[in-house]
Amino acid sequence: MFSTSSGRNNGNGQPYSTIRDYSDSESDVDDVEDDFIQREIRQQRLMMKQQDEGLEMLGQSAERLSKISMGIHEELGHQNKMLNEMEEDLDTAATNLSMVTIKTKELIQKSGGKRNFIIIVILSLVVVVLLFLILYS
């Protein structure tokens, strides 16, 4: 376009140009750069959208975990209350059992001690054996 020939050639039979036209090549470079920038912007927007979707999913997961953990907390509270009630009932039963044991020991002492208790148990076994013999003979 703006090229002029000095009468010499470049070895390929084409004349050297002393003034070169860079306007077309610069606009091509500008177009390529603009396309590259636009592609990069689109890719960044796509990545940001994907990250936003990932963050949204992460937020939903955190919300679900929060609800689950609150449910577990409530359930543990109920079970802890039940365990405390059971412990109280067990303490009461243990106290009652120790009182019955003490009264039984007192009764055994009043009735003649272990010797009389053993005689009663042996006589009871003799009665059971005799009944067995009477019924099956």
Determine the pLDDT at residue 129: 95
Determine the pLDDT at residue 23: 52
Determine the pLDDT at residue 11: 55
Residues 6+ apart with CB under 8 A from 114: 108
DSSP collapsed to 3 states, 43-105: HHHHHHHHHHHHHHHHHHHHHHHHHHHHHHHHHHHHHHHHHHHHHHHHHHHHHHHHHHHHHHH
Structure tokens at 122: 């042996």
CA distance 118 to 103: 18
Determine the pLDDT at residue 106: 85
pLDDT tens digits, the chain, 137 residues: what are they?
444 444 555 555 555 444 455 455 666 667 778 888 899 999 999 999 999 999 999 999 999 999 999 999 999 999 999 999 999 999 999 999 999 999 988 887 777 777 777 888 999 999 999 999 999 87
Determine the pLDDT at residue 3: 44
Q: Are 29 and 19 in contact (CB under 8 A)?
A: no
Structure tokens at 97: 């059992």
